Structure 1
Amino acid sequence: MIKYVCKHCGHHLGLIDQAVVDEARLGFDSLTIEERESIISYESNGDIVANVVCEYCQEALEQNPELILLSNLLQ
């Protein structure tokens, strides 16, 4: 299973509920090692978590770039 979660606000954006998921079909194979480490994490049960940015946080960052310095955009 792959869960898509906003890395800033923690909002759950989506879920791919399949036992076996081809990471190449999702484009994960095109990420650099550094990108993989910052975007993809694994839960103890084997689920994959893709830490992405939701539309709300993206818009907030575009309008207020200094927010990137905060640990949580919704402070």
Structure 2
Amino acid sequence: MRIIYYCRHCHTNLGEIDGQRVDEARLGFRSLTPEEAADIITYNSIENSTYVKTVCEHCQEALDAHPELNLLSNPLQ
């Protein structure tokens, strides 16, 4: 299974991990609440992939410089 990290705001692919070599516990997925996991992690059984939302440096810098963007539902699109 591939684990694909992408930015939740600009949808940039930030990297991939071969899920065969690492388990969910090492990635910290098990420490998430069910609500957090539902918001962050999406499983695609057809592609045998897991998609993980995160925030890229560019978007984080924009959010840090303009905190009011956090009030929008999808601030950087």
**Structure 1: which 5+ residue stretches go unaligned?**
none
- Report the identity percentage: 51
Contact 1:4 1:52 (8 Å CA) reproduced: yes
With structure 2 as the length reference, what TM-score do the two structures score? 0.84
Asked if residue 15 in structure 1 is aligned to residue 51 in structure 2, the reply is: no
Cα RMSD for the two superposed structures: 1.6
Aligned length: 74
Between structures 1 and 2, the one with greater helix share: 2
Return the letter of the residue paired with 2:23.
D
Name the residue aligned to 1:29: 30
**Between structures 1 and 2, the one with greater strand share:** 2
Runs of 4+ residues deviating >4 angstroms: none
- Cα distance between partner residues in 1 of 2:76 and 2:61: 11
